[in-house]
Structure 1
């Protein structure tokens, strides 16, 4: 489910201390007087290269500058930080791993202190590759040994930009083209601007669409006539029109004079399908179910001019159309991680607005993980009192340690939670928009926040002498001495599945969540129970596990605990009328082939209506067929592949681009190009940019007819490790979400079935060109203002040099390229790129949207 984090533990930090200025010897008394103010410490990080030594590792430097009036002591302090590991090259400092991605840099006896005004460069060699700004350490703060409970923020921390693209094109990345702007130009050169008349005005693409030579004049004065079965949808439509016209439209069930808006009930289309007809005297939406009416309303909204939400309107023209439409997949999901970094209720509601507009109908709510528990559970106050708070701590008793740069203080986005009232509001809002909210309770791994919270509860009740009550919801065996390390570096994040209290806890959480759904009137059928990334070594030294093995003939070893746990969880859910949902590992087991361990499909739950998110389609990994194997094996499968739908991956391989890259890079085209029933067809480049040979997929499993029926839908996922703000959330989400919406709703495109490669390419390029025109000309301008506006990513320009002239282009029509030749940053007032520019020593290009907001600047040096 997640990245093989390059900050793997069991490593030391490489630090070679090089003093540019003087070092001063301080006495023990001086080192504990705290004359030095940590706010006077400035730190910068710089990537040096990605080809350091013979193994896969990179070289960077941390530069410490004392800007204060007092020397930095030779001892008595630690510098805390997230996301840095390596090997020590000097005896003056050591790196100590605390847990997760948290480390400390500590001076040794060889360090003699740092004078005011002096600078110290720490050389670091780390495993893996550093390809963008998200590789840098962050969350730095200072702690005095004499005041170990106090974390103090340092002065300035900066990450130096990398202009030399070759630094991120070495090692395993050497096959990727460079420089980046040339690569982007080549990717964009097939894109041609289309006229408005050539664009389908309903998004995502409908099943059937025809424009009429008519138009409807829409205003708040026009009442909405509706079938009584569609009263909720009529009220919703009226509120949506209020966002445009400043007042609601009247809603009524009795016939109205023309012109009118009519929400009409018919026997067809079935399910979520609808028919939409816009003429000069009416807007008529016909459906058999409320969901169909709702999606017809969304189509009317995408027919409106993109500027409709920019300011209050008196009336708008709606083009005449006839549309017959229904979704390709009934399960169209977006997963939001709020555990790693919190998103406020208002941000969640805004995301639900976005999902509704583009006809997504499932919100997978990843609300707990190692780094946070985000929903208040009545009767278990520690889950939010402890589990939702992050900050400096020595014991994780009152809050969790800093993760992902959250720093020493308990602030947003590291900390935060939803009250029961907040969560009920979210459920009501989603339900009104025909979005099902599926809660994910991460078990048995990725559960550190829950474990530490229940430890806090245990301590509280033990102090009160309530031993039996204290043990009721305990999630770990106090006698367990097992040693393990998770992919993200935790050594204490797995629930003990042999404890009866584990199941009491899960029953309590499930029952309280179900009560909130009942109060909200929200549907709840499936509950996601996690199931991924449980590391080797867990439970091996647990007395409680030993007792279970001794007393249960079905559990012969710790290897059987996986099936034991999920059988009990499945039964727990079934007793309450819910179905089990989990990550792909729930449907897998280990088996020996030729003396080697392999993961194979486990038939244990295949016939029990168990649904799985299958994330591993990592191109080049050898597991690209996993989703098809599980679907063929009888599991309901949601295609959640990292290679196409992990929206937290960086858009492109450029150092300033934020985001993870362990699964490759992912822009708008990755979700658009996905072929659900034949992923292999156009997945020809691995995550490092290397081309696969023609026979690579020949031995991989293909979907059977039964397996095809078990593919229930598609899901986009946004993990929260790097989502440090609302702006970053929207940047990573958009426009990628539009590719997901198109592929989940629109009919199968012709190119997905085309066997001839030349025909396939021409058909694909034609559809891709139409899609980016619709996104650039209509949908992103709409999102400048819709639901308060979204700060989507504006594409970077592509550029190339031909015959001593510089040419530039952009991925999406509808955007403007501006440039400078004097080294200054292009602004909205800079010259617009219209034709090739005679060669200059340096040209800077920047793309702007219609609102005047600019994207990232690229620099072309000749």
Structure 2
């Protein structure tokens, strides 16, 4: 068998490369149990409990607060006054036999609802379950009687830490929205809110001892518009900022506590501190005046480990500790460049004085010193996984975001860990391949991938796995200027994560989850949540079987029709009903959409261009395997005729490599004319992704000269045109660039 050997040599610097049993309008008929997160055990019984003004509410004294919360929820929404009759009864009771402090047992008969729990937390989660058993339009309905399905539930969370994060440094959000965010978390039985309060772009918490943090650090002169990767950078020219007063923070903390949510404040150190240094330049190594950052990224202005800096941070911690009753303070610890420390005389002297090896150990010294002070205050620290570098502080909990490696290392050292890897938990990534998706930082994290996450790394033993506290979804807001955009990016992925961290893995099933999510979305409609609804989108994949190329369409929801065309026309106007794989014998543009049985289009139009080039379906091998985080499509993604999305570098068409040169070999089984070779590279420097430095091409081992391709996204080798080599502006990442080479007519034979 002959061989056409195409070899590319990539030098890559860094690659981070309802089922309803009754009509909704008939509130006197109970709905099916469609609870999210799915309970540990549930048994559906016959009949329904009627909630109305003849319902009496009773409770054990220890559960009075939750019972009062439940009463307020019902009476504030409806024309119902509990305790005005005794026809039916709801009773909250303490049950010390329940082992999990967040667990509960819920028994609903036609005459009584019994909520049994060991603590207020468990009773509150039982209330949230009851809330989901009410009609989806409960909050908006004018009815005064509602049926609740008779059932028995035994339920408890899989993990003790079930978190959501919100960055208010890049964009600031009102107290009212923070409360709404907490309400939505509590619906899903999430129990920890990670409030990211300080950043290079803004300091958001009032510190009375340091008023310049409010006067200077809380405001930036302007804000980057469009994407960071769009060059040259553009700004809006408008002053932006804000901060939470201590009284507002107390209000939010109280609100969260009532909903069984603990707030963890994050005060970044030693990096991501340019805003603070702008207010107090003496906190940095250079003592030079800097401005609050106006764009995103990693900045060299970090805290200098001087005594005056530690005094400042200790004073800040004193005020923070007084505001937040939880056990943790998050100190960041991530992305702290050592550039200024390398040049700083004080830092270098301190390294020698403390017997440290390098600047990484200096960061460990910095974190350990702050940990000791925070421990004295009765709190413990959490830090991003960079705090492992140079040695882990003695009592630190690690939040692992750069994959699971940090979690594994920390757990093996018997430190508590929280999983929040970019691959499954970063909700600032794109969630759909639709070109009309609103701007995001990059990447691709669809709902199903979130749902598939297992927070226990397989590398841990059963004993080591005990140090995994749980997982958290992160919402970084560089590209989220409004509350509506935050909701769009967080939902429904937060819903999927809630089931990951609450429900047992053996009770999870994605297709069944989607059925429950369809119903849950109706509740979100009623309470005005701007969630992303991709349940009715079409996805597809190329199939190569028995030398026949075909394309398969599918959608996550059942009982719907897919209509499609292959000529690029709109499936609304002329289309075929999809029933089996589409045969591909030429280049085509497939368009498809999901329709209900009445013929109404439900989702966006899916479009896929397939370029049936000569390498599609041929044999391909790689000398270096792609990085596991960027290998969704496997090696066939190189030659399947489908281009990777221009924005979503994490989709199944992009492959990422890290550290080693890449050699790709494509093998043909018969003589083949090759007129041109083209390839594309994602060049997203804002996500630490870089195009290769050099590409070499060979046929049967005979190399052409290597050509530098600079910072282009595209490379075309064309064998029928005059040789041209066009240098581009290395900063013009956005524009498409072509490099054309001619070697006369070239025939590639076996």
1:264 to 93, 103, 111: 93
2:467 to 706, 710, 732: 710
What is the CA distance between 1:738 and its match in structure 2? 1.4
- The verdict on how the C-alpha distance between 1:194 and 1:246 changes in structure 2, with shifts beyond 3 A counting, is closer
1:782 to 523, 533, 551: 523
The answer to whether the Cα contact below 8 Å between 2:298 and 2:335 also exists between their aligned partners in 1 is: no
Q: How big is each residue's C-alpha offset from its partner over 1:600-644, in whole Å with a ceiling of 9 and x where there is no partner?
A: xx3x53xx4321101122xxxxxx543222201111000111111
Taking only aligned residues, the RMSD between alpha carbons, in angstroms, comes to: 4.1
Query: Larger deviation: 811-820 or 554-563?
Result: 811-820
1:671 counterpart = 2:413: no
Q: How big is each residue's C-alpha offset from its partner over 1:732-783, in whole Å with a ceiling of 9 and x where there is no partner?
A: 1111111111010001317xxxxxxxxxxxxx8xx2211111112x211121
Q: Residue 619 of structure 2 aligns with which residue?
A: none
1:576 counterpart = 2:377: yes
The answer to whether the Cα contact below 8 Å between 1:475 and 1:502 also exists between their aligned partners in 2 is: yes
Higher relative contact order (CA 8 A, sep 6+): 2
1:725 counterpart = 2:482: yes
The answer to whether the Cα contact below 8 Å between 2:52 and 2:80 also exists between their aligned partners in 1 is: no
2:135 to 305, 308, 315: 305
Q: Residue 646 of structure 2 aligns with which residue?
A: none
- The verdict on how the C-alpha distance between 1:747 and 1:559 changes in structure 2, with shifts beyond 3 A counting, is closer
- SS at the partner of 2:268? coil
1:738 to 495, 500, 504: 495
- SS at the partner of 1:223? strand
The answer to whether the Cα contact below 8 Å between 1:629 and 1:703 also exists between their aligned partners in 2 is: no
TM-score, scaled to structure 2: 0.68
- The verdict on how the C-alpha distance between 1:631 and 1:224 changes in structure 2, with shifts beyond 3 A counting, is same
Write the distance in 2 (CA, Å) between the matches of 1:374 and 1:848.
Answer: 47
The answer to whether the Cα contact below 8 Å between 1:645 and 1:670 also exists between their aligned partners in 2 is: no
Write the distance in 2 (CA, Å) between the matches of 1:360 and 1:815.
Answer: 32
Q: Residue 271 of structure 2 aligns with which residue?
A: 445
The answer to whether the Cα contact below 8 Å between 2:327 and 2:378 also exists between their aligned partners in 1 is: yes
Write the distance in 1 (CA, Å) between the matches of 2:596 and 2:193.
Answer: 32
Q: Residue 333 of structure 2 aligns with which residue?
A: 531
Write the distance in 2 (CA, Å) between the matches of 1:671 and 1:580.
Answer: 27
After TM superposition, the structure 1 = structure 2 runs for residues 58-69 of structure 1, keeping only pairs within 5 Å, are none
Write the distance in 1 (CA, Å) between the matches of 2:104 and 2:223.
Answer: 55
- The verdict on how the C-alpha distance between 1:640 and 1:833 changes in structure 2, with shifts beyond 3 A counting, is farther
Q: Residue 67 of structure 2 aligns with which residue?
A: 234
After TM superposition, the structure 1 = structure 2 runs for residues 577-726 of structure 1, keeping only pairs within 5 Å, are 577-589=378-390, 602=391, 604-605=392-393, 608-617=394-403, 624-658=404-438, 660=440, 664-679=443-458, 702-726=459-483
TM-score, scaled to structure 1: 0.60
Write the distance in 2 (CA, Å) between the matches of 1:818 and 1:381.
Answer: 61
Write the distance in 2 (CA, Å) between the matches of 1:501 and 1:854.
Answer: 60
Q: How big is each residue's C-alpha offset from its partner over 1:135-187, in whole Å with a ceiling of 9 and x where there is no partner?
A: xxxxxxxxxxxxxxxxxxxxxxxxxxxxxxxxxxxxx99xxxxxxxxxxxxxx
The answer to whether the Cα contact below 8 Å between 1:442 and 1:530 also exists between their aligned partners in 2 is: yes
Q: Return 5+ residue gaps in structure 1 as ranges.
A: 1-52, 58-126, 130-171, 174-192, 395-402, 456-473, 518-522, 590-601, 618-623, 680-701, 751-763
Q: Residue 163 of structure 1 aligns with which residue?
A: none
The answer to whether the Cα contact below 8 Å between 2:159 and 2:501 also exists between their aligned partners in 1 is: yes
- SS at the partner of 1:504? helix
- SS at the partner of 1:565? helix
The answer to whether the Cα contact below 8 Å between 2:223 and 2:235 also exists between their aligned partners in 1 is: no
What is the CA distance between 1:328 and its match in structure 2? 0.6
Q: How big is each residue's C-alpha offset from its partner over 1:387-427, in whole Å with a ceiling of 9 and x where there is no partner?
A: 22222499xxxxxxxx997621124xxx2322222222211
2:252 to 395, 417, 426: 426
Write the distance in 2 (CA, Å) between the matches of 1:847 and 1:387.
Answer: 51
- SS at the partner of 2:429? coil
The answer to whether the Cα contact below 8 Å between 1:823 and 1:844 also exists between their aligned partners in 2 is: no
1:217 to 50, 56, 63: 50
Write the distance in 1 (CA, Å) between the matches of 2:387 and 2:580.
Answer: 57
Q: Residue 510 of structure 2 aligns with which residue?
A: 768
- SS at the partner of 2:128? helix
After TM superposition, the structure 1 = structure 2 runs for residues 709-858 of structure 1, keeping only pairs within 5 Å, are 709-749=466-506, 767-776=509-518, 778-786=519-527, 788-795=528-535, 796-798=537-539, 810-813=555-558, 845=593, 856-858=604-606
- SS at the partner of 1:241? helix
Q: Residue 302 of structure 2 aligns with which residue?
A: 494
Corresponding residue pairs, total: 573
Q: Return 5+ residue gaps in structure 2 as ranges.
A: 1-7, 23-30, 225-231, 583-587, 611-750
The answer to whether the Cα contact below 8 Å between 1:238 and 1:250 also exists between their aligned partners in 2 is: no
- The verdict on how the C-alpha distance between 1:831 and 1:737 changes in structure 2, with shifts beyond 3 A counting, is farther
What is the CA distance between 1:506 and its match in structure 2? 1.4
The answer to whether the Cα contact below 8 Å between 2:541 and 2:551 also exists between their aligned partners in 1 is: yes
- The verdict on how the C-alpha distance between 1:808 and 1:831 changes in structure 2, with shifts beyond 3 A counting, is farther
The answer to whether the Cα contact below 8 Å between 2:217 and 2:278 also exists between their aligned partners in 1 is: yes
- The verdict on how the C-alpha distance between 1:245 and 1:566 changes in structure 2, with shifts beyond 3 A counting, is same
Write the distance in 2 (CA, Å) between the matches of 1:205 and 1:491.
Answer: 43
The answer to whether the Cα contact below 8 Å between 1:846 and 1:858 also exists between their aligned partners in 2 is: no
Write the distance in 1 (CA, Å) between the matches of 2:542 and 2:578.
Answer: 13
- SS at the partner of 2:131? helix
- SS at the partner of 1:439? strand
What is the CA distance between 1:860 and its match in structure 2? 6.9
What is the CA distance between 1:798 and its match in structure 2? 3.9
1:566 to 340, 345, 367: 367
The answer to whether the Cα contact below 8 Å between 1:807 and 1:836 also exists between their aligned partners in 2 is: no
The answer to whether the Cα contact below 8 Å between 1:826 and 1:846 also exists between their aligned partners in 2 is: no
What is the CA distance between 1:442 and its match in structure 2? 0.7
Q: Residue 323 of structure 2 aligns with which residue?
A: 516
Q: Residue 666 of structure 2 aligns with which residue?
A: none
Write the distance in 1 (CA, Å) between the matches of 2:524 and 2:215.
Answer: 37
Q: Residue 311 of structure 2 aligns with which residue?
A: 504
The answer to whether the Cα contact below 8 Å between 1:245 and 1:315 also exists between their aligned partners in 2 is: no
1:476 to 270, 284, 291: 284
Write the distance in 1 (CA, Å) between the matches of 2:78 and 2:574.
Answer: 36
Q: Residue 436 of structure 1 aligns with which residue?
A: 262
Q: How big is each residue's C-alpha offset from its partner over 1:774-794, in whole Å with a ceiling of 9 and x where there is no partner?
A: 112x211121113x4333333
Write the distance in 2 (CA, Å) between the matches of 1:226 and 1:555.
Answer: 59
Q: Residue 671 of structure 2 aligns with which residue?
A: none
- The verdict on how the C-alpha distance between 1:780 and 1:393 changes in structure 2, with shifts beyond 3 A counting, is closer
Q: Residue 203 of structure 1 aligns with which residue?
A: 36
Q: How big is each residue's C-alpha offset from its partner over 1:258-291, in whole Å with a ceiling of 9 and x where there is no partner?
A: 4011111121313011000011001110112111
What is the CA distance between 1:843 and its match in structure 2? 5.6
What is the CA distance between 1:348 and its match in structure 2? 1.2
Q: Residue 667 of structure 2 aligns with which residue?
A: none
The answer to whether the Cα contact below 8 Å between 1:391 and 1:407 also exists between their aligned partners in 2 is: no
What is the CA distance between 1:372 and its match in structure 2? 1.3
- SS at the partner of 2:218? coil
What is the CA distance between 1:559 and its match in structure 2? 4.1
The answer to whether the Cα contact below 8 Å between 1:343 and 1:726 also exists between their aligned partners in 2 is: yes
- SS at the partner of 1:749? helix
- SS at the partner of 1:261? strand
Q: Residue 711 of structure 2 aligns with which residue?
A: none
Write the distance in 2 (CA, Å) between the matches of 1:792 and 1:204.
Answer: 19
